[in-house]
Amino acid sequence: VGALACQRDSYLQTLRTTVLRCTPKPAAEAAAAASAAGPTKQLYEVELEDTVLFPEGGGQPADTGTIRAVAGSAAEAPPVRVLDVQRRELRAVHVVDGPLAEQAEVEVALDWRRRLDHMQQHTGQHLLSAVLDGLQLPTLSWSMGAPASYVEVPRRLSDAEVAAVGQAVNDEILRNTAVSVATPGGEPEGEKGALRVVSIGELDTNACCGTHLSSVGQVKAVALLGQTKGKGGASRLGFVAGDRVHQYAGQLHEVVRRVAGTLSSSVDELDDRAAALVKQCKRLQHREKALRRELAALK
């Protein structure tokens, strides 16, 4: 890990390579990964000479995809699905739902839509962290989640700071600075992985094993989604990036529209309408209590 095909070129979607090892996955371990393949299916662990499927690490989830044989009678068989990719020392172990012959020539294909989404979130995170660095707010940790991810910083930001950070990040996206990856220590040797340094122009440099967009413009947009409490006084700043911004905005709008319908309100008046209903509900509860007391006194 450090010089896999997916790390050398994060836009590579297919690769011809050779199966080095294929072993049945132990049943106990398989149980955890089985949900995607069905509960009874035997899973296999496959190592390839090289791969375009990123093994989970550095906050970025594993890729999914397919592997199919390209020569011999096995070439007629349907491709096996790759459900997970994990690191084992420097090797990438693919968890697949069918066996592959060792030494077979195969084509690995990446679920590109899913990976592009991960790249948009990950490059978006580097950009957000770089802007927060400028406010002396170093990133303590980050996590890619669904639908939103977060960056954890040492203190809570004011509303004005959140607005300013959101604007600064989106201004940087418009600048479309190139993202580059350097391996200052050269190719990995023996047990040591390659050190990878990901840079956004002059703005940011970060040691990172992940797959990144080649320019910041491809992040498209970052939307900040409020803060939750982290450890100690730390704060987790939620965000979505890339195509998730318009998808999430659409989903949220749909929820708001439905709630407005339930409350017989327009979207614009929803806030006032909800507050008025809560007030009315409290008034009714008070009255009910008073009436019950009166009733008890009559008995």
**Helix 243-262 to helix 270-298 angle, to the nearest 10 degrees?**
40
CB of 234 to Zn ion, least distance (A): 19
- By CB under 5 A, what part of segment 201-260 binds Zn ion? 208, 210
Give 208 or 224: the residue with its C-beta nearer to Zn ion: 208
108 three-class SS: strand
Distance between CA 211 and CA 60 in Å, rounded?
8
Write out the E strands in the chain. Answer: 14-24, 44-48, 65-69, 80-88, 91-96, 105-110, 141-143, 149-153, 179-182, 197-200, 204-207, 222-229, 235-241
Give 5 or 208: the residue with its C-beta nearer to Zn ion: 208
Evaluate whether 151 touches 162 at the Cβ level (below 8 Å).
no
Does residue number 124 form part of the binding site for Zn ion (CB under 5 A)?
A: no
CB of 32 to Zn ion, least distance (A): 26
- What are 26's two structure tokens? 């132990």
Does residue number 127 form part of the binding site for Zn ion (CB under 5 A)?
A: no
What character string, x for contact with Zn ion (CB under 5 A) and - otherwise, covers 27-46? --------------------
Q: Residues in contact with Zn ion, total (CB under 5 A)?
A: 2
Residue sitting closest to Zn ion (CB): 208
Does residue number 128 form part of the binding site for Zn ion (CB under 5 A)?
A: no
Distance between CA 54 and CA 63 in Å, rounded?
5
Question: Would you call the peptide bond into 147 cis, given omega within 30 degrees of 0 as the criterion?
Answer: yes
What character string, x for contact with Zn ion (CB under 5 A) and - otherwise, covers 171-210? -------------------------------------x-x
Does residue number 151 form part of the binding site for Zn ion (CB under 5 A)?
A: no
Binding site for Zn ion (CB under 5 A): 208, 210
